[in-house]
Amino acid sequence: MSEKTSTYENLVTELKELALLRSCGAVLGWDEQTNLPPHGAEHRANQLAMISGLSHERGTSSELGEMLNELSDPSTVGGEETVAFANVRDARRAYDRTVKLPKKLVEELTRATTLSQHAWVESRKKKDFSLFQPWLEKIINLKREEADALGSKTGVKYDALIEDYEPGATAAQIQEVFTPLRESLVQLVTAIQASETQTDISILERLYPTAAQKELSVEAASMIGFDFNAGRLDIAAHPFCSGIGPGDCRLTTRYDEHHFPGAFFGTLHEAGHGIYEQGLKDDDFGLATGEACSLGIHESQSRMWENLVGRSRAFWEFFYAKAQQTFPNAIGDVHIDDFYSAVNDVRPSWIRVEADEVTYNLHIMLRFELEQALIGGELDVADIPGVWNEKFTEYFGITPTDDSIGCLQDVHWGAGLIGYFPTYSLGNMYASQFFEKAEEDLGDLNAMFAQGEFMPLKEWLNKNIHKHGRHYYAPELVEIVTGKPLSAEPLLKHLNEKFGAVYGL
């Protein structure tokens, strides 16, 4: 027993060192996006490749494999209910996935996804899918090989890929919640489009000076509980949140002086990710129990603070006076009702990343269906543009006028990120389901927001979501927290109620 305990202790040490090494890469990656001088790009690529190579070597070492083998029987770590069991199980999972992939396949994928970026940019710029097509064909083939090498419990290739982003989830389970969601959303969008209520979004395009935007964003992020003593906010072309390690979590955003929502809601979104990272157990850094559960759960935190809190009527009842003081010229004369409807404008649009709370999920479902068919071998890459536009018209009632605002808009597929898209909508659903439960436990959250009280929700999330880390995988976590499996109901209820009111439906 004492010998086994000691193996677990050695495993913990090794996993923590591995995470520490990877976190050096996280600093290099953050710096690359925020500070790197143009001529430093090649050296930075070399640095990142080195850290990644060292991490891979250590993450696939036979020593690590032996420790995991010694701990393969749950009894060696005190049974299946222990923290140690969860940590060993997850380390085993990560180890097995990595060692299952042939080195040649990994190299080919790295090469293809790196080189394809240039073709994708060109292809999108020239609105010519054929330039990207051969690269995407290569990548899809390699991802199919990857899925075969990894295998999945269900035997479904696509499920092997989802596992990287949403451990324990399957396409069938996701489809089960997506189908009713899609039907209801299409109905809601149709109703909104038929509504006579008009929102005036031009008020959001007045002059909002950058320095004041930053000030207000920082104030809002602090207010909802992001700790700037353990984090920062910087500028990056493509906003992200990087949880570097205990005490150091970095948000980025971008400012457009003539578009208020971008940086403001973007910062709340990233702050939601950041509050999650800051809520993880510092002492468990490097272990499953000290790391985020999944991309979907991560996204549930960002979407909750961005949409369920930041775009709520109650939030602005508390915060609008402050915003008016900050931008007297832009909104000094704008009524809160008009501001509130403007930030909740819903309309079908081509671009996913600019989509509103309602239509966003339709963008995701479209991609989810296509990528399943691609990996399943039922759709040829050459047919993507046609199928994309057909489905888009069905879901949104409008047709992309070219592929740059259609199937070429996202970076994901060309980067080999397949199985990633559904996590965005899973995040929206988890968010509403968690929010509903939090309200059950805490009482009327919106009444609290209207008084500027955000800590009850934040602390509820700390306790019920963050502190678990990845002790449970997402499907199980949702059941533990809410007592129910994942469901589209809470999200639909929220959207119908909120936008029913905004659009007088």
Binding site for a second copy (CB under 8 A): 17, 20-21, 23-24, 27-28, 31, 35-44, 46-47, 50-51, 54, 227-232, 244-249, 285
Sheet holding 248-253, edge to edge: 231-235, 248-253, 241-245
Closer residue to a second copy, CB minimum distance, 40 or 485: 40
CB of 373 to a second copy, least distance (A): 42
| Secondary structure (DSSP) of 330-389 | HHTT--HHHHHHHTT-----S-GGG--TTTHHHHHHHHHHHHHHHHHTSS-GGGHHHHHH
Closer residue to a second copy, CB minimum distance, 148 or 283: 283
Q: Are 142 and 418 in contact (CB under 8 A)?
A: no
- Is residue 270 part of the annotated active site? The answer reads yes
Closer residue to a second copy, CB minimum distance, 53 or 443: 53
CB of 34 to a second copy, least distance (A): 9
Cα(356)–Cα(363) distance, integer angstroms: 10
Structure tokens that stand for 394 in this block: 């069905």
With 0-12 / 13-18 / 19 or more C-beta atoms within 10 angstroms meaning exposed / middle / buried, residue 221 is: buried
Closer residue to a second copy, CB minimum distance, 18 or 67: 18
Task: Exactly one of 166, 270, 277, 369 is catalytic; name it.
Answer: 270
Structure tokens that stand for 338 in this block: 């008009």
CB of 94 to a second copy, least distance (A): 20
Rounded alpha-carbon distances, angstroms, from residue 368 to 78, 162, 178, 243, 296: 40, 11, 10, 27, 14
CB of 219 to a second copy, least distance (A): 17
Q: Are 114 and 105 in contact (CB under 8 A)?
A: no
Q: Are 388 and 400 in contact (CB under 8 A)?
A: yes
Cα(431)–Cα(367) distance, integer angstroms: 21
Closer residue to a second copy, CB minimum distance, 156 or 230: 230
CB of 231 to a second copy, least distance (A): 5
Of the CA atoms within 13 Å of residue 359, those in its CB half-sphere come to 25
- Active-site residue set: 270
